[in-house]
């Protein structure tokens, strides 16, 4: 038998409905570059779900593409983007933001999150700096929700961040690569319309949420909308057969499939969290969406790696490490069960 | 009935075999980012077809993405890329090359092509310029084959271009968005191994050749290979589910499907060329691949546009324009037949 | 004896008054980075001369620095700058504009100049292009006055260019590296206040006009003013001892020295034009400022080069070339006289 | 009376010998762009002083210009530059490095310095990262000596840094804006030939060391030398009257003036350190070059600010701050004496 992947939420292809939709429309001829009826329909659907009739929706192929395009479109040359030290744009995009000319201004994160207070302080320090023109001006706040640590912003936190951004003239942008998993998580108190109301831009992830690939960028602030298609083309993100992206989002948003798949992943993660509790494994950080960061004895890693893939996140102490398990729309219950049992068995044998 | 699209070669989805391959493997779990077994197999297959065992093959999502990534990877900051005035990177990529910091040095094209002599002259002029450090240094030659005008480089022309590039230290890069259509065209005397031998890098198109999306970048020169995956990620071109690209190329290259589809498109274009001859319509330029540029009376354009889409390429004189018709792997014979008849009818009624 | 330089207008140091001013203030302590009293005074003086009390004036070290900073500050990422094919930014800045991410959209020039009609046509073509988002959007017009060919825009031409720029939403920017020589030329009908009124930004040259180095960038349009000092610092153009630039402009603008020096250069060029007429040498282009482009027999070049430096501009026919002679604020009358005599002698001996 | 500036080392013009040299040669005609005999002579002199006959020397106008040009020339697009968190490129160049496309990879500094061990660790972590292609590759180490905190690298530290850079394929670059002050400091054990031997590139500061402006970039590694003049021109750093830079360095290096001026500044700082000791003020960090960081009671700041300028560096505790005093080649002994007395007086009155 092959190994079972818990290493990420993009190990499979797409939900069957997505493939079916692609097939059904396969030989239909349409306009290129995202100007077809499927993209239009998907954009309308997303604006409805966001309760944001004035927003623009654009479909891009991936998350880094979305991030670098939105950020380069929003910032002036001397502005930088504020992000958590652990933020994806700060760590895992090979300097894509810098390659478009902008500095990432990092803030220490608490469980992957940054706060309105931190942003306000940074802006105030910049504004009061007698040589501020020798430093990068904060121009944007980048959040991810769920964060890289799988945690969620609470509505109150987002409200405060939005407020400080508006006060300080910063664009608020939310990376929603796993937004569905976040919205479906137990205890989450944020809705899609909240996000559309509080952020200037965000994207609703497809790649990790059941699509083959693709992210839906939602531009809420009018100032970001002008000329955005030029940006997409210039950065290499405009798909010739743009319809593929519209079609996939149509399939996912039909009859609430997107939310159903998100819930599935979160329930699988809940079961895994339960299994970890049973096995006596503490968590590095409390999460309720689809990523789980248990602290495991190093001695367990090799036996587990024979059956499962996962990533080693960080060393915790002399003989324990935090690892990351991801569930997804495609995670099979029997695999989570099996992992829970294996963890229990390791716990038992350790005692 | 809907209009019939001759406006481009990406109006449909993908060849059914491509979708079938995606479905068959859909729930299989693989590594991400193009490091899976499908990408490896497709890369091996392409290297075999190119007779280039030392080459590297990388799969990117689209043509602009491929062009900007290869060009930015190859050039030093003060170098520019030589291209035909009509070249895609010079005209239709929203300044993507400039956005990565490099000037496109344009040469007047003859039927869409540039010559070794022109390149040599430009390099010599640069080398002899007493203030050459005030000008951009030529660092690369960009060709497309077929060109934007649907024409093909002859083997002799490519040999000469390759020679001058090697002599002058320029990287030779060939944009093969429609390379299959070029290789399958009547009269073509260039093979894939020729291209791999003569160029430092090129890409074999998927998007316009029967895939949903995707291009296979082949790096022949070792100096271009180092660190190329960093470039892909930085430019936003690294697909999380990279396998989608490998799988599509595997499907297309199985049993020669790629060449069969290419031939089909070219034969459809041949039939259209014949129809145009019958209708007495001259061609702007002689082509043998899948793009046809007839010169039509302006009075025909509106009647034709009721049934067909096509692009108006340029005004030729007071009452005639050159238009572009594209065939593709998906073009139905009955549609070409119908277009040929409609052209004949317009010709008859005009007399 | 050394050769006599007519190759450029920056072969000497500075006008003695400039050095004197630097010396007189040398040990005075001031703030850095252009925030000292000399820079403030020089900026005020320039705004007065421009009749532009709302303008901002910034001092930069050189022309390429000024051009790349203003252009990068004004354009959005997908916008390009329109320039004459022969424009300095298009030819002689090693792709500095492209290095900041922007394409230079070249227009064929007539005697170094471009027209409002050409700009309007380019903008209209862009606006009407069905795939305009695949092309670079014109965002600025770059002129130089005098042009690279030493010619001058007439007031009417500038008025029309300004009008089309305002209509089309383009920034109008004028490179005034030799602006004094232009304003002092016989037949010129443009004034500094005209330029400040019609352009959104321009610079008043120092380097070629009697300073050691330095250019005064005048930002007339409020939208260009915000954050400009950040741009200067980011591009490496903010001089620690910024006062050096303010002081030099103060020296040059005192008692009209700048205009006096400009006139001197133009009168020297007038004398050279007269000498050329006497020697029967035609001009490539009619100029009235400090650059002269005679067409000379190739046989004359070597004998002339024994005594004088000049640049060979272009080949004209089988045995003649156009060359460029520059005069400057420092050109000595006896040298021009001598050159005129030598030309006459060559003409006599040729007959 | 005016305030006395201790806020920086560039509050005055230049050493009189520099001005004298500019005057003596003022009306001499030379080639432009740094290809004149003065630049050649100054470059030769610097190579001699560095015992680096194979090095290239280029003169640029300022420090940010030098840094961004060298760094952009050395790195490939996906590489970043390692620097101390407090490094000038990380904090005070308005993102100039990012504007050229590269990330600054910061390391926590100890007294402004980073260590070979830190660099080795970062490189090893990168090399061992399973997703390293998603992160920026370290390509260079940037040091400043003296650092931003006025401290100096010991020879042993530089040797180790050089060794790890060579082992890991990193370019070692040293920002020598105040290098003279560093070399002349008590206890310094590094020489100019050491630096040329251990670094791949560095610059010898002029602006802060007695010149009007200008830095001498020394490229020791042959791979950095190719095409460097193109980089300078592209980044806007090529002065038309390049001779101004060569002349200034000639003046400064004549009869050891550069070292004499450096020693003067350091002795002035020594006197100030003595005065601070007498006044019982601790230092934030031990330094021996021209910058002094005493910790002063906040109550002293306002009285001191009536007579002196200085910068407040950081808050230390509830009622004390670290401030920065700079001496320079131009600092007058009587001013330091007066400051020392005022500090003593404040100390006495505080008790």
Judge whether B233 is closer than 8 Å to chain D, CB to CB.
Answer: yes
What is the pLDDT, as a whole number, of residue A121? 98
Q: Find the CATH number of the domain harbouring B280.
A: 3.90.1150.10
CA-based max dimension of chain C:
64
Say whether both B150 and B282 belong to one domain.
Answer: no
Is the pLDDT assigned to residue A333 strictly greater than 70?
A: yes
The confidence band for A351, taking pLDDT boundaries of 50, 70 and 90, is low
The confidence band for D276, taking pLDDT boundaries of 50, 70 and 90, is very high
Question: Residues 193-232, chain C: which have Cβ within 8 Å of A?
Answer: 227, 229-232
Is the pLDDT assigned to residue B8 strictly greater than 70?
A: yes
Q: What is the DSSP letter of D328?
A: -
| Two tokens, residue D266 | 């350091």
Query: What is the Cα–Cα distance from D320 to D300, expressed in whole angstroms?
Result: 9
The answer to whether the Cβ–Cβ distance between A98 and D136 falls below 8 Å is yes
B299-304: list long-range contacts, CB under 8 Å, 24+ apart. B299/B350, B300/B343, B300/B346, B300/B350, B303/B342, B303/B346, B304/B342, B304/B343, B304/B346
Enclosing H/E stretch for A140: strand A137-144
Query: What is the Cα–Cα distance from D87 to D108, expressed in whole angstroms?
Result: 10
Query: What is the Cα–Cα distance from B314 to B295, expressed in whole angstroms?
Result: 9
Q: Can you give the C-alpha Rg of chain C in angstroms? A: 21
What is the pLDDT, as a whole number, of residue D1? 52
The answer to whether the Cβ–Cβ distance between D136 and A101 falls below 8 Å is no
What is the pLDDT, as a whole number, of residue B2? 77
Query: What is the Cα–Cα distance from C301 to B184, expressed in whole angstroms?
Result: 56
User: Which of C136, C301, C315 to probe by mutation at the B interface, max B CB count within 10 Å?
Assistant: C136
Is the pLDDT assigned to residue D143 strictly greater than 60?
A: yes
The confidence band for D66, taking pLDDT boundaries of 50, 70 and 90, is very high
The SS3 assignment for B115 reads coil
Q: How many CB atoms sit inside 10 A of residue B347's CB?
A: 18
Judge whether C280 is closer than 8 Å to chain B, CB to CB.
Answer: no
What is the pLDDT, as a whole number, of residue C350? 77
What is the pLDDT, as a whole number, of residue D350? 77
Give the end of a domain, one of A200, A230, A255.
Answer: A255
Q: What is the pLDDT of residues C282-326, one digit of tens each?
A: 999 999 999 999 999 999 999 999 999 999 999 999 999 999 999
Would you say B288 and B185 are in contact if contact means Cβ atoms under 8 Å apart? yes
Task: Spell out which residues of chain D touch residue B234, defining contact as CB-CB under 8 Å.
Answer: 77-78
Would you say C141 and C171 are in contact if contact means Cβ atoms under 8 Å apart? yes
Say whether both B210 and B184 belong to one domain.
Answer: yes
Task: Spell out which residues of chain B touch residue D130, defining contact as CB-CB under 8 Å.
Answer: none
The answer to whether the Cβ–Cβ distance between C133 and A229 falls below 8 Å is yes
CA distance to partner chain C, nearest, from residue B350 (Å):
29
Q: What is the pLDDT of residues D14-44, one digit of tens each?
A: 999 999 999 999 999 999 999 999 999 999 9
Nearest chain D alpha carbon to A94: D135
What is the pLDDT, as a whole number, of residue B294? 98
What is the pLDDT, as a whole number, of residue D351? 65
Task: Spell out which residues of chain D touch residue A133, defining contact as CB-CB under 8 Å.
Answer: 94
Query: What is the Cα–Cα distance from D72 to B85, expressed in whole angstroms?
Result: 29
Say whether both C56 and C154 belong to one domain.
Answer: yes
CA distance to partner chain A, nearest, from residue C210 (Å):
30
Q: What is the mean pLDDT of residues D119-145?
A: 97
Nearest chain A alpha carbon to C224: A76
Is the pLDDT assigned to residue A156 strictly greater than 60?
A: yes
Q: Quick one: which of C209, C164, C248, C205 has its CA closest to C67?
A: C205
The answer to whether the Cβ–Cβ distance between B233 and D73 falls below 8 Å is no
The answer to whether the Cβ–Cβ distance between C240 and D25 falls below 8 Å is no
The confidence band for A162, taking pLDDT boundaries of 50, 70 and 90, is very high
Nearest chain D alpha carbon to A136: D94
Task: Spell out which residues of chain B touch residue A99, defining contact as CB-CB under 8 Å.
Answer: 100, 234-235
Nearest chain C alpha carbon to A230: C133
Say whether both B241 and B266 belong to one domain.
Answer: no
Task: Spell out which residues of chain B touch residue D103, defining contact as CB-CB under 8 Å.
Answer: none
Cβ-proximal residues to B177 (8 Å cutoff; 6+ apart), any chain: B63, B88, B144, B203, B205, B207, B208, B215
What is the pLDDT, as a whole number, of residue C33? 96
Please tell me which of the candidates B68, B69, B233 has its beta carbon nearest to residue A93. Answer: B233
Say whether both A49 and A144 belong to one domain.
Answer: yes
User: Which of D68, D91, D98, D101 to probe by mutation at the A interface, max A CB count within 10 Å?
Assistant: D98
Nearest chain D alpha carbon to A137: D94
Q: How many CB atoms sit inside 10 A of residue A53's CB?
A: 8
Give the end of a domain, one of A240, A255, A270.
Answer: A255
CA distance to partner chain D, nearest, from residue C7 (Å):
9
Is the pLDDT assigned to residue C93 strictly greater than 90?
A: yes
What is the pLDDT, as a whole number, of residue C30? 94
Judge whether D47 is closer than 8 Å to chain C, CB to CB.
Answer: no
The confidence band for A83, taking pLDDT boundaries of 50, 70 and 90, is very high
Say whether both D149 and D163 belong to one domain.
Answer: yes
The confidence band for C331, taking pLDDT boundaries of 50, 70 and 90, is very high
Say whether both D24 and D34 belong to one domain.
Answer: yes
User: Which of B73, B230, B235, B237 to probe by mutation at the D interface, max D CB count within 10 Å?
Assistant: B230
Provide the CA B233 distance to its chain's centre, in angstroms.
23
The confidence band for A350, taking pLDDT boundaries of 50, 70 and 90, is confident
Nearest chain C alpha carbon to B77: C99
CA distance to partner chain D, nearest, from residue B107 (Å):
22
Please tell me which of the candidates B76, B101, B231 has its beta carbon nearest to residue D227. Answer: B76
What is the pLDDT, as a whole number, of residue A56? 98
Judge whether C92 is closer than 8 Å to chain A, CB to CB.
Answer: no
Would you say A158 and A136 are in contact if contact means Cβ atoms under 8 Å apart? no
Judge whether B52 is closer than 8 Å to chain A, CB to CB.
Answer: no
What is the pLDDT, as a whole number, of residue B6? 96
Task: Spell out which residues of chain C touch residue D14, defining contact as CB-CB under 8 Å.
Answer: 26
Domain ranges, residue A283: 4-10+257-349
Task: Spell out which residues of chain B touch residue C103, defining contact as CB-CB under 8 Å.
Answer: 95, 98, 104
The confidence band for B350, taking pLDDT boundaries of 50, 70 and 90, is confident
CA distance to partner chain D, nearest, from residue B126 (Å):
13
The confidence band for B351, taking pLDDT boundaries of 50, 70 and 90, is low
What is the pLDDT, as a whole number, of residue C71? 98
Task: Spell out which residues of chain C touch residue A233, defining contact as CB-CB under 8 Å.
Answer: 78, 133-134
Would you say D29 and C11 are in contact if contact means Cβ atoms under 8 Å apart? yes
User: Which of C77, C91, C99 to probe by mutation at the B interface, max B CB count within 10 Å?
Assistant: C99
The answer to whether the Cβ–Cβ distance between A77 and C134 falls below 8 Å is no
Judge whether B136 is closer than 8 Å to chain C, CB to CB.
Answer: yes
Is the pLDDT assigned to residue D258 strictly greater than 90?
A: yes
Give the ipTM of the model, two decimals please: 0.96
% of chain D residues with pLDDT over 90: 98
Please tell me which of the candidates D91, D95, D136 has its beta carbon nearest to residue A95. Answer: D136
Question: Residues 250-279, chain B: which have Cβ within 8 Å of A?
Answer: none
The answer to whether the Cβ–Cβ distance between C77 and A231 falls below 8 Å is yes
| Two tokens, residue C267 | 């009168």
Say whether both A67 and A186 belong to one domain.
Answer: yes
Kindly write down the DSSP assignment for every residue of A227-275, as one continuous string.
Answer: THHHHHHHTT---TTTHHHHHHHHHHHGGGHHHHHHHHHHHHHHHHHHH
Is the pLDDT assigned to residue D124 strictly greater than 90?
A: yes
Would you say C64 and D236 are in contact if contact means Cβ atoms under 8 Å apart? yes
Say whether both D82 and D219 belong to one domain.
Answer: yes
Q: What is the mean pLDDT of residues B6-32?
A: 96
Please tell me which of the candidates C19, C63, C243 has its beta carbon nearest to residue D22. Answer: C19
Q: Find the CATH number of the domain harbouring A244.
A: 3.40.640.10
Nearest chain D alpha carbon to B72: D77
What is the pLDDT, as a whole number, of residue C8? 94
| Two tokens, residue D181 | 């002050």
DSSP E strands: which ranges in A63-182? 79-84, 104-107, 137-144, 171-176
Say whether both C180 and C301 belong to one domain.
Answer: no
Strand partners, B148: none
CA distance to partner chain D, nearest, from residue B132 (Å):
8
Say whether both D263 and D320 belong to one domain.
Answer: yes
Q: What is the mean pLDDT of residues B265-271?
A: 98
Query: What is the Cα–Cα distance from B179 to B259, expressed in whole angstroms?
Result: 10
Is the pLDDT assigned to residue C251 strictly greater than 70?
A: yes
Number of structural domains (chain A) is 2
The confidence band for A1, taking pLDDT boundaries of 50, 70 and 90, is low
What is the pLDDT, as a whole number, of residue C1? 52
Provide the CA C285 distance to its chain's centre, in angstroms.
17
Would you say D327 and D9 are in contact if contact means Cβ atoms under 8 Å apart? yes
Q: Do the strands A215-219 and A201-205 form a parallel or antiparallel pair, or are they unpaired?
A: antiparallel
The confidence band for B1, taking pLDDT boundaries of 50, 70 and 90, is low
CA torsion through residues D22, D28, D29, D30, sign: negative
What is the pLDDT, as a whole number, of residue B315? 92
Q: Do the strands D79-84 and D56-60 form a parallel or antiparallel pair, or are they unpaired?
A: unpaired
Query: What is the Cα–Cα distance from D64 to D213, expressed in whole angstroms?
Result: 12
Q: What is the pLDDT of residues A87-123, one digit of tens each?
A: 999 999 999 999 999 999 999 999 999 999 999 999 9
Enclosing H/E stretch for C17: helix C16-24
Say whether both D331 and D238 belong to one domain.
Answer: no
Give the end of a domain, one of A255, A280, A315.
Answer: A255
Query: What is the Cα–Cα distance from D287 to D270, expressed in whole angstroms?
Result: 9
CA distance to partner chain B, nearest, from residue A290 (Å):
17
């Amino acid at each position: 038998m092959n190994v079972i992947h818990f290493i990420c939420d993009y190990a499979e292809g797409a939900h069957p409905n997505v493939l079916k939709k692609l097939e059904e429309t396969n030989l239909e001829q349409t306009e290129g570059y995202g100007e077809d009826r499927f993209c239009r329909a998907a954009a309308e659907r997303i604006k409805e779900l966001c309760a944001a009739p004035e927003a623009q929706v654009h479909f891009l192929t991936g998350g880094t593409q979305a991030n670098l395009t939105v950020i380069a479109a929003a910032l002036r040359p001397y502005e930088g983007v504020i992000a958590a030290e652990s933020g994806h744009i700060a760590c895992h995009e090979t300097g894509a933001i810098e390659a478009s000319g902008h500095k990432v201004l990092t803030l220490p994160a608490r469980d992957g999150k940054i706060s309105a207070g931190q942003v306000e302080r940074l802006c105030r320090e910049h504004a009061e700096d007698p040589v501020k023109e020798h430093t990068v001006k904060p121009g944007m706040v980048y959040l991810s929700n769920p964060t890289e640590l799988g945690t969620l912003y609470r509505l109150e936190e987002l409200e405060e961040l939005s407020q400080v951004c508006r006060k300080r003239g910063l664009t608020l942008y939310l990376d929603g690569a796993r937004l569905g998993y976040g919205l479906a998580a137990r205890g989450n108190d944020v809705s899609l319309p909240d996000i559309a109301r509080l952020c200037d831009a965000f994207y609703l992830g497809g790649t990790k949420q059941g699509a083959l690939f693709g992210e839906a960028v939602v531009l809420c602030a009018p100032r970001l909308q002008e000329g955005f298609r030029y940006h997409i083309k210039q950065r290499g993100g405009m798909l010739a057969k743009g319809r593929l992206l519209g079609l996939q989002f149509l399939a996912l948003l039909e009859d609430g499939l997107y939310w159903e798949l998100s819930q599935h992943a979160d329930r699988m993660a809940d079961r895994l969290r339960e299994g970890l509790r049973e096995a006596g494994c503490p968590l590095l950080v409390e999460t309720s969406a689809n990523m789980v960061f248990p602290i495991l004895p190093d001695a367990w890693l090799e036996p587990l790696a024979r059956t499962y893939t996962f990533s080693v996140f960080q060393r915790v102490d002399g003989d324990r490490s935090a690892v990351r398990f991801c569930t997804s729309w495609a995670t099979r219950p029997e695999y989570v069960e099996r992992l829970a049992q294996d963890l229990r068995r390791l716990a038992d044998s350790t005692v």
